[in-house]
């Protein structure tokens, strides 16, 4: 009888021991309070935002593209946009990971390890505010978040006011990304429904490109669009690229375009011009300066 | 069956040139935008731009087509084309590396200054060209045996060299960031035109291409003889080794120049010779000069087609895509027809 | 090959015989300057051929290879016209006279009807005749033929040798033919050069050279050499 009982118990114990590793339920980790949570950020603009909110100390790792601000560079790198080291992330035991890759397996693996994952959209001005709020809630920094949002709103408002002071809006603008490899025959342009487009409108400009998102068009088409300002966005992050003079001289023979004729071809090398983030206030201000230079009267064809 | 007299030759060549001139004239009138939508001032600029592109297409098309004819004759293989021996890989890698590593200040080097006029050299293209020359030397060194260039060894060497450069380019693209990688891939499809003026590059390339084509015109008789094998060709008076060496170098230089100018545009060097063979037969004395204009016309038409696609549909399509798309129906036709396409075995 | 030495007189039809590997093709290629001798010289009209210019040599010596395929689809006429290559200029432009010569060459080999046909569409024998026409169009004094009858049927074999003998006798052209077929060579050649073991085994008129002993020594066969009443020499291998 006793032997029978011992046998049963042993078998049960063995069964349990064998079955236990098979249980893959997410193990709930002891939830830390929000203001102690650490975060890994794989999105450059999110990294920037975190530091702008004063949450730098809470960031434990970044992607290789997250190079701003300077303080972020000392953080360990766990991968690039596509290829992230899952092991390294786990080693750091963060509470939150922010990324925007569409790798569902990565999402699943992190979640099953008890790590909270966020993949917020960050493509418009409003998205930036929303992400700031979100990060504030997740990391117990609502106050810092509100402060940052307020600051950005006022910066954008100031830019808008500046436009009204300096002249009417509606300056036809073309924003283009020059090619790095080879001569590049056609012109790569930025269209509607993009962050740059939003800023342009804010800065009193009118995007001459009638398309959504990004496109490549022939120079002939640009001539028909007749922009008054051409903004060449050359962040220089991918390759040395050309000098300002060289970029401008490539356009110089196209004086059929008003922007070239009046010498309003501007090279901007700031990366924050095209990526939404906490520096968008500066971006707006910069664009206002480009589109409506100090003291300039409203451009002649603003009356159109 | 008529003999090829000097008169018949000149008439044929002149006729081909007229065809090209007609196509070029039309090409100036069609493009991305309706020509009537420009005012007088802008019209001039647009015509100038289109003219530049047409001339670029003529240069590159002629270079690729004649290079294709030469390689097909040299390797005694109707499927040979200008990139078969790896020169395009070398030139491409040169351009890509030059684009990535040359700082802006070194991109355009002034080589001539005459008062106000300044002539600058595009050093990125030059990188491609120099790399092409190195590749030619390398392929020659590897393929030759006791000073002799054997077609089989050439092809095998070409395979190796192509593989090498494909790997090198892949490595570069893999290490590059996303945006640079996309640009590299795009450039590898080949394309004409440039935002800035490209007259200087064309001015440098044109004499080279014209000289190369002239060499082929004189070598054409030898290409005919080589079709029967080197023994027969030698017995009919051809200095086989010298002829092969020259053809190899000139054809490779033409291919390398094209790639440095416009990226590796494919299929022109393969399709144009074949189409011309369908029309005039395999006589290289006619094929060489006709390829000049045939290649020019082919590439000009392809470029115009690409330009005319509305940007909402597919803006900035590289010309190499159109030539590649032409390749598919072409090969189908090639398979179904039999006559006058290629000959028997080597 | 060692110590191979022989002379061919103008207007002779000489057959070069020997078993496989005896060097027949090598000799033909040496005369064509496709090979250069490691020792010894090839003399044409008393002058070392090594010093001759490519173009000049092609006007004096023509070659008919054993097998000929073209990488591209040339017609018979185009092929024969290439024989005028040594006579046309750098660009290769042809004259009315060149055309006539080519046509005449095709007539001689009885292949005028094949003029517009692609070389690949011809039978082996027809192709061989076209190649011979090309060699004739070269208007060379010396023709070197490497196994010219190997792909021909029996009638065309004899036609070919008859043609060559006609060229030799009536036009004074010299023909040097390598051959596998002892009987055909014996029937038409003025002289035979028999190679064996890398050296010359015999030179002379067919009747003098072809003996049972020679055949056994060079080819390793036992044969009877029979002279027909009309003077024909026939080699009959013994069947064992």
**What tokens were used for A282?**
């500066």
Say yes or no for a CB contact (<8 Å) between A223 and B192. no
Q: How far apart are CA B232 and CA C79, in angstroms?
A: 11
In the predicted model, what is the mean pLDDT of residues A91-102?
A: 84
The pLDDT tens digits of the residues spanning B299-326 come to: 999 999 988 888 888 777 889 888 988 8
Which residue did the predictor score with more confidence, A244 or B1? A244
Order across the sheet with C199-204: list the strands.
C61-64, C142-146, C174-178, C13-17, C191-196, C199-204
In the predicted model, what is the mean pLDDT of residues B278-304?
A: 94
- When the pLDDT of each residue in chain C is averaged and rounded to a whole number, the result is 89
Q: Are B104 and A240 in contact (CB under 8 A)?
A: yes
Which residue did the predictor score with more confidence, A104 or B9? B9
Q: Are A88 and A243 in contact (CB under 8 A)?
A: no
C195 membership: H or E segment, kind and range: strand C191-196
Q: What is the DSSP letter of A212?
A: B
Using alpha carbons, select from A44, A47, A39 the residue that is nearest to residue A140. Answer: A39
Using alpha carbons, select from C113, C122, C233 the residue that is nearest to residue C181. Answer: C233
Q: How far apart are CA B34 and CA B43, in angstroms?
A: 10
Instruction: Report helix, strand or coil for A53.
Output: coil
Confidence check: pLDDT of A237 > 80: no
Q: How far apart are CA A263 and CA A219, in angstroms?
A: 17
Instruction: Report helix, strand or coil for C225.
Output: strand
For residue B137, the tally of other CB atoms under 10 A from its CB is 12
In the predicted model, what is the mean pLDDT of residues A68-78?
A: 89
- Tell me whether residue C122 is in a domain: no
Q: How far apart are CA B220 and CA B241, in angstroms?
A: 15
Q: How far apart are CA B100 and CA B98, in angstroms?
A: 5
Confidence check: pLDDT of A85 > 90: no
Say yes or no for a CB contact (<8 Å) between A221 and B37. no
- Tell me whether residue C54 is in a domain: yes
Chain A interface includes B247 (CB < 8 A): no
Which residue did the predictor score with more confidence, A181 or B325? B325
Using alpha carbons, select from C76, C75, C70 the residue that is nearest to residue C105. Answer: C76
The CATH number of residue C216's host domain is: 3.40.50.300
In the predicted model, what is the mean pLDDT of residues C75-83?
A: 94
**What tokens were used for A31?**
């939830």
Torsion angle, alpha carbons of C182, C188, C193, C196, to 10: 0
- When the pLDDT of each residue in chain B is averaged and rounded to a whole number, the result is 88
Q: Where are the alpha helices (DSSP H) in A81-194?
A: 86-92, 104-112, 125-138, 142-166
Q: Which of B33, B54, B127, B314 to mutate to test the interface with A (most CBs of A within 10 A)?
A: B33
Write B164-171 long-range contacts (CB < 8 A, 24+).
B164/B86, B164/B89, B165/B86, B165/B89, B165/B90, B165/B92, B165/B93, B165/B135, B166/B89, B168/B89, B168/B93, B169/B89, B169/B92, B169/B93, B169/B96
| Least trusted range by pLDDT, from A28-37, A115-124, B193-202 | A28-37
- The confidence score (pLDDT) of residue A31 equals 72
Longest dimension (CA), chain B: 65
How far are the Cα atoms of B221, B229, C219 from residue C87, in angstroms, in the given order? 12, 20, 42
Question: If you average pLDDT over each of B109-113, B147-151, B224-228, C211-215, which comes out highest?
Answer: B224-228
| Least trusted range by pLDDT, from A24-38, B19-33, B288-302 | A24-38
- The confidence score (pLDDT) of residue A301 equals 34
Rounded percentage of chain B residues whose pLDDT exceeds 70: 95
- Tell me whether residue C155 is in a domain: yes
Using alpha carbons, select from A156, A234, A236 the residue that is nearest to residue A200. Answer: A156
- Tell me whether residue C125 is in a domain: no
Which residue did the predictor score with more confidence, A91 or A106? A91
Torsion angle, alpha carbons of B251, B252, B254, B255, to 10: 120
- The confidence score (pLDDT) of residue A152 equals 93
- The confidence score (pLDDT) of residue A238 equals 63
Q: Please report the DSSP string for C17-28 in residue order.
A: E-STTSSHHHHH
The pLDDT tens digits of the residues spanning A151-160 come to: 999 999 998 8
- The confidence score (pLDDT) of residue C83 equals 94
Confidence of residue A302 (pLDDT cuts 50, 70, 90): very low
Nearest by CB to residue B1, choosing from C77, C86, C90, is C77
Confidence of residue C106 (pLDDT cuts 50, 70, 90): very high
Gap from C236 CA to chain B (nearest CA, Å): 36
Say yes or no for a CB contact (<8 Å) between C93 and B346. no
Q: Which residue range(s) make up the domain with C30?
A: 13-69+142-237
For residue A34, the tally of other CB atoms under 10 A from its CB is 15
Interface ipTM: 0.90
Confidence of residue B67 (pLDDT cuts 50, 70, 90): very high
The pLDDT tens digits of the residues spanning C7-45 come to: 888 889 999 999 888 888 889 999 998 888 888 888 888
Instruction: Report helix, strand or coil for C64.
Output: strand
Rounded percentage of chain A residues whose pLDDT exceeds 70: 85
Domain total for chain C?
A: 1
Confidence check: pLDDT of C4 > 50: yes
Chain C interface includes B281 (CB < 8 A): yes
Chain C interface includes B228 (CB < 8 A): yes
Q: How far apart are CA A71 and CA A56, in angstroms?
A: 8
Confidence of residue A246 (pLDDT cuts 50, 70, 90): confident
B157 membership: H or E segment, kind and range: helix B151-175
In the predicted model, what is the mean pLDDT of residues A61-68?
A: 86
How far are the Cα atoms of A209, A216, B46 from residue A229, in angstroms, in the given order? 13, 18, 20
Question: If you average pLDDT over each of A78-92, A131-145, A287-301, which comes out highest?
Answer: A131-145
Which residue did the predictor score with more confidence, A256 or A32? A256
| Least trusted range by pLDDT, from A61-65, B8-12, B260-264, B342-346 | B342-346
| Least trusted range by pLDDT, from A142-146, A151-155, A269-273 | A269-273
Chain C interface includes B244 (CB < 8 A): no
In the predicted model, what is the mean pLDDT of residues B254-264?
A: 94
Q: How far apart are CA B278 and CA B272, in angstroms?
A: 10
Q: Which of C55, C59, C71 to mutate to test the interface with B (most CBs of B within 10 A)?
A: C71
Which residue did the predictor score with more confidence, A268 or C1? A268
Domains annotated on chain A, with CATH: 34-124 (3.40.50.1980), 146-303 (3.40.50.1980)
In the predicted model, what is the mean pLDDT of residues A76-84?
A: 80
* Token pair 């290439």 in the structure block, residue: C82
**What tokens were used for A188?**
């790569």
Q: Which of A220, A257, A259 to mutate to test the interface with B (most CBs of B within 10 A)?
A: A220
What are the extents of the domains in chain B? 37-336
A181 membership: H or E segment, kind and range: none
> How many helices, marked H, and strands, marked E, lie in chain A?
11, 10
B10 membership: H or E segment, kind and range: helix B6-29
Chain B interface includes A83 (CB < 8 A): no
Q: How far apart are CA C79 and CA C69, in angstroms?
A: 11
The pLDDT tens digits of the residues spanning B153-208 come to: 999 999 999 999 999 999 999 888 777 888 888 889 888 867 777 888 898 999 99
The CATH classification number of B37-336 equals: 1.10.3470.10
C139 CB contacts (<8 Å, ≥6 apart)?
C59, C87, C101
Q: How far apart are CA A196 and CA B301, in angstroms?
A: 36
Q: Is the dihedral of CA A191, A194, A199, A203 positive or negative?
A: positive
Confidence of residue A299 (pLDDT cuts 50, 70, 90): very low
Q: Are A240 and A253 in contact (CB under 8 A)?
A: no
Say yes or no for a CB contact (<8 Å) between B183 and A179. yes
Q: How far apart are CA B165 and CA B182, in angstroms?
A: 18
Gap from B224 CA to chain C (nearest CA, Å): 8
Question: If you average pLDDT over each of B128-137, B326-335, C123-132, C218-227, which comes out highest?
Answer: B128-137
Name subunits touching B (3+ CB pairs < 8 A). Answer: A, C
């Amino acid at each position: 009888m006793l032997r029978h009982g011992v046998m049963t118990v042993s078998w049960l114990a063995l069964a349990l021991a064998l079955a236990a590793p098979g249980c893959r339920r997410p193990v709930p980790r002891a939830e830390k309070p929000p203001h102690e949570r650490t975060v890994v950020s794989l999105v450059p603009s999110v990294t920037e935002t975190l530091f702008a909110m004063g949450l730098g100390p809470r960031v434990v790792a970044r992607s290789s593209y997250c190079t701003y601000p300077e303080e972020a560079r000392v953080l360990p790198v766990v991968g690039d946009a596509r290829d992230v080291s899952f092991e390294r992330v786990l080693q750091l035991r963060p509470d939150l990971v922010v990324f925007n890759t569409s790798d569902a397996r990565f999402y699943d693996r992190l979640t099953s390890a008890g790590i909270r994952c966020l993949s917020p959209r960050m493509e418009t001005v409003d998205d930036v505010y929303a992400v700031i709020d979100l990060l504030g809630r997740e990391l117990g920094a609502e106050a810092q978040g509100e402060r940052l949002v307020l600051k950005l709103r006022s910066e954008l408002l100031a830019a808008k006011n500046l436009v009204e002071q300096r002249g009417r809006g509606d300056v036809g603008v073309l924003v283009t990304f020059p090619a790095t490899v080879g001569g590049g025959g056609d012109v790569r342009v930025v269209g509607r429904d993009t962050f740059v487009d939003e800023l342009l409108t804010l800065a009193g400009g009118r995007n001459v490109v009638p398309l959504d998102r990004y496109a490549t068009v022939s120079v002939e088409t640009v001539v028909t669009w007749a922009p008054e300002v051409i903004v060449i966005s050359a962040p220089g992050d991918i390759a040395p690229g050309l000098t300002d003079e060289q970029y401008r001289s490539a356009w110089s023979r196209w004086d059929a375009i008003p922007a070239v004729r009046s010498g309003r071809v501007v090279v901007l090398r700031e990366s924050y011009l095209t990526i939404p983030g906490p520096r968008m206030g500066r971006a707006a201000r910069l664009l206002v300066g480009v589109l409506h230079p100090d003291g300039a009267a409203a451009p002649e064809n603003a009356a159109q | 069956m008529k003999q090829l007299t000097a008169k018949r030759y000149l008439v044929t060549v002149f006729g081909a040139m007229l065809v090209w001139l007609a196509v070029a004239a039309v090409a100036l009138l069609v493009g991305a935008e309706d020509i009537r939508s420009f005012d007088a001032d802008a019209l001039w600029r647009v015509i100038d731009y289109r003219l530049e592109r047409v001339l670029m297409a003529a240069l590159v098309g002629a270079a690729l087509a004649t290079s294709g004819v030469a390689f097909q004759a040299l390797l005694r293989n109707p499927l040979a084309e200008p990139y078969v021996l790896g020169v395009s890989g070398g030139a491409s890698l040169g351009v890509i590396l030059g684009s990535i590593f040359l700082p802006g200040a070194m991109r355009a080097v002034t080589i001539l200054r005459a008062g106000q006029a300044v002539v600058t050299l595009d050093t990125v293209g030059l990188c491609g060209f120099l790399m092409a020359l190195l590749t030619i030397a390398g392929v020659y060194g590897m393929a030759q045996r006791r000073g002799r260039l054997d077609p089989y060894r050439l092809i095998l060497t070409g395979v190796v060299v192509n593989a090498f450069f494909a790997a090198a380019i892949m490595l570069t693209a893999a290490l590059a960031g996303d945006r640079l990688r996309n640009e590299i891939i795009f450039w590898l499809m080949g394309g004409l035109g440039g935002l800035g003026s490209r007259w200087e590059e064309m001015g440098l390339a044109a004499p080279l291409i014209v000289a190369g084509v002239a060499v082929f015109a004189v070598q054409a008789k030898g290409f005919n003889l080589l079709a029967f094998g080197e023994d027969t060709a030698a017995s009919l008076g051809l200095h086989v080794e010298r002829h092969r060496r020259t053809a190899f170098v000139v054809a490779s230089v033409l291919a390398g120049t094209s790639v440095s100018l416009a990226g590796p545009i494919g299929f022109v060097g393969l399709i144009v010779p074949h189409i011309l063979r369908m029309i005039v037969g395999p006589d290289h004395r006619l094929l060489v000069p006709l390829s000049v204009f045939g290649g020019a016309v082919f590439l000009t038409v392809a470029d115009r087609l690409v330009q005319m696609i509305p940007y909402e549909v597919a803006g900035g399509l590289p010309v190499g895509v159109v030539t590649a798309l032409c390749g598919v129906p072409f090969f189908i036709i090639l398979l179904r027809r039999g006559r006058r396409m290629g000959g028997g075995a080597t | 090959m060692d110590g191979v030495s022989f002379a061919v007189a103008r207007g002779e039809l000489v057959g070069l015989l020997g078993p496989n590997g005896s060097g027949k093709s090598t000799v033909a290629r040496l005369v064509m300057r496709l090979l250069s001798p490691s020792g010894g010289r090839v003399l044409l009209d008393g002058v070392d051929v090594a010093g001759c210019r490519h173009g000049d040599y092609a006007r004096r010596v023509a070659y008919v290879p054993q097998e000929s395929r073209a990488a591209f689809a040339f017609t018979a006429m185009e092929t024969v016209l290439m024989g005028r290559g040594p006579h046309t200029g750098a660009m290769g432009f042809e004259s009315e006279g060149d055309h006539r010569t080519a046509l005449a060459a095709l007539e001689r080999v009885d292949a005028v009807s094949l003029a517009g046909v692609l070389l690949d569409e011809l039978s082996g024998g027809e192709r061989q005749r076209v190649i011979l026409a090309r060699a004739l169009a070269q208007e060379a004094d010396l023709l070197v033929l490497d196994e010219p009858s190997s792909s021909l049927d029996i009638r065309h074999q004899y036609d070919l040798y008859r043609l060559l003998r006609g060229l030799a006798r009536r036009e004074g052209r010299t023909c040097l033919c390598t051959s596998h077929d002892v009987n055909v060579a014996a029937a038409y050649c003025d002289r035979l050069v028999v190679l064996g073991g890398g050296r010359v085994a015999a030179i002379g008129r067919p009747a003098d050279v072809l003996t049972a002993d020679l055949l056994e020594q060079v080819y390793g066969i036992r044969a009877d050499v029979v002279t027909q009443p009309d003077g024909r020499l026939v080699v009959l291998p013994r069947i064992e």
